[in-house]
Amino acid sequence: MKNKKALCYVALLALMVWCIKGFWSNNTVKVKPLELDQSQQEFQQQVNRDDLLRKEHEISTLKVEMARLKMESSKCGLESKFSPEIPKIYAITPTHYRAVQKAELTRLSHTLMLVPNLHWVVVEDAESKTDLVTKLLAKTGMSYSHLNAATPKSWKPKAKEPRWVKPRGVLQRNTALQWLRDNVSPNEDGVIYFVDDDNSYSLEVFEEMRYLKGVGVWPVGLVGGLMVERPKINAEGKVTGWLTVWSPNRPFAIDMAGFAINLKLFHSKPNGKFSFESEKGYQESELLKHFVGSLNELEVKADNCTKVFVWHTRTEQANLAQEIKLRKENKPRSDIGIEV
Amino acid sequence: MKNKKALCYVALLALMVWCIKGFWSNNTVKVKPLELDQSQQEFQQQVNRDDLLRKEHEISTLKVEMARLKMESSKCGLESKFSPEIPKIYAITPTHYRAVQKAELTRLSHTLMLVPNLHWVVVEDAESKTDLVTKLLAKTGMSYSHLNAATPKSWKPKAKEPRWVKPRGVLQRNTALQWLRDNVSPNEDGVIYFVDDDNSYSLEVFEEMRYLKGVGVWPVGLVGGLMVERPKINAEGKVTGWLTVWSPNRPFAIDMAGFAINLKLFHSKPNGKFSFESEKGYQESELLKHFVGSLNELEVKADNCTKVFVWHTRTEQANLAQEIKLRKENKPRSDIGIEV
């Protein structure tokens, strides 16, 4: 028995070595035509060809590694973890143009790429979908929907008005919610979560919410002027209030990143959405009142709300002092023909 | 036991099928450029571009699946030797405690988890390794080294002193470099890259640097008061200077995120390191002077330095106004017993 197993592994190893060798010889064969080209083609073409070659090699090595990892995982019976039967997470992200937008969406996409069975609904605050976001989403290889909805001027903060005066992302989040009502079956297992493009998310938070039956809640770090804002939990493990300093008497004194909603529950309440009319800090309450009758219906997650799995980080506006100076002096901008 | 054997054979079969498929697709991919060599250059360029996009998409998908498998494998203690056949990237990250540290390291780790064959060298500015960073690193399932080196008081910015007055991360980066000299073989294929815990990195930037023979350079977004700072490239595709506004006459007017160094070259220059003595903005020049004789030795990456694959983002300090108030009023802090 043992011998057979040993033999089997040896055979595997041999097979893999043979594969890798195979790819090497493939690549060397491929190099020849490229070298010939380099004498005739323009610089741009050479760049593309070399790039193509590098990417082909990368794909080969990735596939080799994948095969190895898949075997390892199968030994711990992990296949199920990746089965499409697990409830899907619909992550809703409103986004608007600013200098750091591409950087923010890029690093956020890396987090979401690591979450199994997640569908990313990205809604641009723009008259039409931008090339920047379109290309960025295509590159992720994720399952996603790309929408846009421009906030009316009357609801945009005026110059010098602090950014909290006007509610932000209302129209974009509602657009995403309407898209879910129109495009996702009421019978599908899943949850809805609002993912802002400047917050930081652990991978744990997504697994906390995946199997919610109703509305689940958990702490949020670095928000409301505190290290952490969180629900107040009693001995029975039920929510009795909110451990916040600012306006703890709101019906749901919780940040957008601190809750998720079961998809079937969402479908069962067709009026559940955000409103431009609700006062500052009441967007979450405005939405959740449709889905939650009383606090003790809330599902307490993150180890009885003692763990922080999401942080309300904020990215500084890019310092573009020199760029502005260039424009004043009618000098060319630094990013001509370059998407930043 | 029987199951294991069965799984083993299934894996074998799967691997064989994949091999055959792998070679098949490789062959078709390989033929394309040969056929198209006859046709016109413009058409050819378009085909190459489409091909590149298709491959980028395939790579993203593979990386996502792999990162998940890798995480899962590590959870059940299966150490996977990651893609030993491609050069390894040694990513050096100095980090210090502040309220947003865990959030920053968490989202950065997600980016690095998606990079094949990367070893993360994390150096804490602390007297000893913290639980926070220790646990965070262990959870990633990545290949990493955890070091610490406390910056002497004399080199820490004084209260109210702007953070650029004193050079930051010098001791931590040098500690990582010394670790590489002591622990990594001079014969190993690899590159060294400095990854700050508040910047934003695309996955592309790591593939740009992977096969460097010397020192490679590329643009950095949102730095020096500009949308992008980048090397000045001549018709021969060589670096002739620096497109920056602030101090463009520095020997290497480039941000820490804008270059990487081949590992063998690094080993060949035992004195290459940073210095507390170098004046503001000269850290990069201080290091690179050891490895680069003249600008035209630099390897120009990122499509002739016309693409931005890394951004010098900055995260706002957490607003803890309410937390401070609680302490003044001798009320319990919000994060008692909770790691944020």
Is A135 found in the same domain as A58? no
From B41, B75, B109, give the residue that closes a domain. B75
Is A178 found in the same domain as A53? no
CATH number at residue A110: 3.90.550.10
Alpha-carbon gap: B113 to the closest alpha carbon of chain A (Å): 9
Whether A26 has a pLDDT exceeding 60, the answer reads no
* Percentage of the residues of chain A whose pLDDT score is greater than 70: 81
Catalytic residue among B204, B208, B284, B286: B284
pLDDT tens digits for A57-97? 777 777 767 766 766 666 665 554 455 678 999 999 999 99
Residues constituting chain B: 340
Q: What is the pLDDT of residue A72?
A: 64
In a domain, B340, yes or no: no
**A219–B303: do the CB atoms touch at under 8 Å?**
no
Q: What are phi and psi of A96, to 5 degrees?
A: -135, 155
**Contact status of A5 with chain B (Cβ, < 8 Å):** yes
Instruction: Give me the mean pLDDT over the A165-170 stretch.
Output: 83
Is A108 found in the same domain as A47? no
Residues constituting chain A: 340
| Beta bridge partners of residue B233, listed in sequence order | B239
| Beta bridge partners of residue A118, listed in sequence order | A89
Report the distance separating Cα B18 and Cα B10, nearest Å.
12
Cβ within 8 Å of residue A18, ≥6 positions away: none
ipTM for the predicted complex comes to 0.80
State the pairing for strand pair B143-148/B118-124: parallel
CA atoms within 13 A on the CB side of B118: 29
Is B68 found in the same domain as B104? no
Whether A246 has a pLDDT exceeding 70, the answer reads yes
**Contact status of A32 with chain B (Cβ, < 8 Å):** no
In a domain, B62, yes or no: yes
**Cβ under 8 Å to B: A residues 88-107:** 99-100, 102-104, 106-107
In a domain, B317, yes or no: no
Q: What is the pLDDT of residue A16?
A: 61
Show pLDDT as tens, one digit a residue, over chain B (340 residues). 455 666 556 556 555 655 454 444 444 333 344 444 556 677 777 777 777 787 787 788 788 777 777 777 766 655 444 556 799 999 999 999 999 999 999 999 999 999 989 999 999 999 999 999 999 999 888 899 999 999 988 887 777 777 667 788 999 999 999 999 999 999 999 999 999 999 999 999 999 999 999 999 999 999 999 999 999 999 999 999 999 999 999 999 999 999 999 999 999 999 999 998 888 899 999 999 999 999 999 999 999 999 999 999 999 999 999 999 999 999 999 999 999 9
Where does chain B have alpha helices with state H?
2-36, 41-75, 101-113, 131-140, 170-183, 204-209, 263-268, 283-288, 302-305, 321-328
Alpha-carbon gap: A271 to the closest alpha carbon of chain B (Å): 35
Q: What is the pLDDT of residue B153?
A: 84
Is A151 found in the same domain as A290? yes
Is B51 found in the same domain as B93? no
In a domain, A328, yes or no: no
Whether A30 has a pLDDT exceeding 50, the answer reads no
Candidates A4, A78, A227; nearest CB to B72: A78
Instruction: Give me the mean pLDDT over the A132-154 stretch.
Output: 93
pLDDT tens digits for A274-315? 998 888 899 999 999 999 999 999 999 999 999 999 999 999
From A43, A75, A107, give the residue that closes a domain. A75
Is A116 found in the same domain as A61? no
In a domain, A20, yes or no: yes
Tell me: is residue B198 an annotated ligand-binding position.
yes
Taking the CB of residue A57, how many other CB atoms lie within 10 A of it? 18
Whether A227 has a pLDDT exceeding 90, the answer reads yes
Q: What is the pLDDT of residue B35?
A: 46
| Token pair listed for A339 | 């998407």
From B54, B75, B96, give the residue that closes a domain. B75
pLDDT tens digits for A263-277? 999 999 999 999 988
Is B119 found in the same domain as B265? yes
**Contact status of B138 with chain A (Cβ, < 8 Å):** no
Q: What is the pLDDT of residue A122?
A: 98
Instruction: Give me the mean pLDDT over the A163-181 stretch.
Output: 90
Name the region of A305 (left: φ>0; alpha: ψ -120 to 50; beta: rest).
left
Domain that holds residue B36: 2-75
Whether A203 has a pLDDT exceeding 50, the answer reads yes
Question: Are the CB atoms for A99 and A320 separated by under 8 Å?
Answer: yes
Is B46 found in the same domain as B152? no
In a domain, B336, yes or no: no
CA atoms within 13 A on the CB side of B84: 6
Is B92 found in the same domain as B69? no
Report the distance separating Cα A290 and Cα A265, nearest Å.
10
| Of A138 and A46, more confident | A138
| Token pair listed for A73 | 């995982």
| Domain count within chain A | 2
In a domain, B334, yes or no: no
In a domain, A201, yes or no: yes
Alpha-carbon gap: B111 to the closest alpha carbon of chain A (Å): 5
Candidates B12, B41, B333; nearest CB to A11: B12
Report the distance separating Cα B74 and Cα A167, nearest Å.
43
Question: Are the CB atoms for B86 and B117 separated by under 8 Å?
Answer: yes
pLDDT tens digits for A13-22? 556 655 554 4
Question: Are the CB atoms for A302 and A309 separated by under 8 Å?
Answer: yes
Is A129 found in the same domain as A36? no
Residues of A in contact with B105 (CB under 8 A): none
Q: What is the pLDDT of residue A33?
A: 42
Is A268 found in the same domain as A186? yes
Helices B41-75 and A101-113 pack at an angle, to 10 degrees, of 50
Average pLDDT over chain A, rounded to an integer: 86
Candidates B62, B319, B326; nearest CB to A63: B62
